Amino acid sequence: MDLVLLDIDSRGVATITLNRPERLNAINMEMRDLLWQHLGACRDIPEVQVIVFKGEGRCFSAGADISEFGTAPSVMAARQARHERDVWDALLHHRCTTVAAMQGYCFGAGLELPLLCDVRIAAEGATFAVPEVSLGYIPSAGATQTLPRRVPPGVAAAMILTGEPIDAPAGLRWGLVDLVAAPGGLDSAVEQVVAQALNGGEAAIQARRQRMIAGAGRGSSRVDDTEPVSFDRGPATTRPPVALGCLLAAAVAVAIAGIFTFVAVFLDSGANSGKLTLEPAEAYDVGYVEYLSDDNIFLVRLRNGEFVALADMDAANRDAQSRRCRVALVAINEAATAISAETLRSRLSAGAEGSTSVFREACFGAVYDLAGTRLDADGRNLDRHPVGVNSAGRVIVDTSKRECSERTGTVSSVAVSCSP
């Protein structure tokens, strides 16, 4: 079975499907070559007007197959192969309208491919990230350029600098995706968009597409974040723009990192005296989890209808700012602790019963339920900010205050001091 499938229907709609579900559709070199071939076929078959990208199984794609990193015969061979079969540039400048149907993990190249599409439709529960930055890699398919063009600069910077994921509602709010489909409704939502894209016939489709590319300034740009740095030491006067660009880029990166560290410490210290005014309460479903990256907190609506706002760093580690032990939302079956998933479920606190997800802390693997209660051992619970609903029905989070507690045996909410 091919790792990337191509199907063209009678309307001129091509469906390209990543077909490696046992590896979460991780994109290897064979798949990249097939993507190149299929994009070329869609370009050369005049009847094809719309391309839909899908992922087989429970996720769109977990990204590039890291087991192939560094396996090219040489840097020059890798560079030549990229330029001879530049999948991303071919997609960016393709004559067809492109639509991405995104479910589950959309990480790394699994996010960068949709970012090069015209329309992105996400299933409820989809998550988006460029986690390769945590391994020291630059996103290889243009995310450093495409993310700032899709989402607010602060959101793009947070995603690119930290690799932290965001969920579908946040992606919709920030413009990363154009639509979040109702549960089980991804295919029908995609079909509706495709039908709209086909309106007007071939000439109209082509005209819209070409004018959109030209208007966005995409006609002369290449997406290429993987140009290897040259260490050739020729005369300094032959490469001043590159040298200057590298210095400026390094200075900007250091400045941004410093700003982010300051903001994180400022928030974690409780010095922020502001109150966040969010959406009306009825906009949040039971079990809803949203990461508010600008404020480093998770907003959760529990099973009992209450809201909690959880700090994304274990309070016990707040005295080690350089470590930044963040927490991430994971499925309870994937919490990866010495304690079984059944035991974790039995320890869920009031309001979090029935949840299928938990928070896992990055440094030591501590596990917390959606109410912030430590599940895997005694110890500090996640800090909480007071949450209320104002007279207009909007959710208010008071970031100037913290509620701190700990788990001791069967007692899970003993109040403790919030100071480190």
CA separation for the pair 355, 302 (Å, rounded): 9
Q: Which helix (H) or strand (E) holds 145?
A: helix 143-150
137 residue type, one letter: Y
CA separation for the pair 118, 95 (Å, rounded): 11
Two structure tokens written together for 417: 């001091």
Contact 167/102 with Cβ under 8 angstroms? no
CA distances from 321 to 267, 314, 402 (A): 12, 11, 18
Two structure tokens written together for 363: 């440094």
Two structure tokens written together for 312: 């994304």
In 3D space, the residue among 122, 91, 280 whose CA is nearest the CA of residue 189 turns out to be 122
95 residue type, one letter: R
CA distances from 27 to 20, 277, 375 (A): 8, 40, 35
User: Which are the catalytic amino acids?
Assistant: 112, 132
CA separation for the pair 36, 389 (Å, rounded): 51
For strands 394-398 and 405-408, give the pairing. unpaired
- Spell out the SS3 assignment of 230-271: CCCCCCHHHCHHHHHHHHHHHHHHHHHHHHHHHHHHHHHCCC
Number of other residues whose CB lies within 10 A of the CB of residue 29: 15
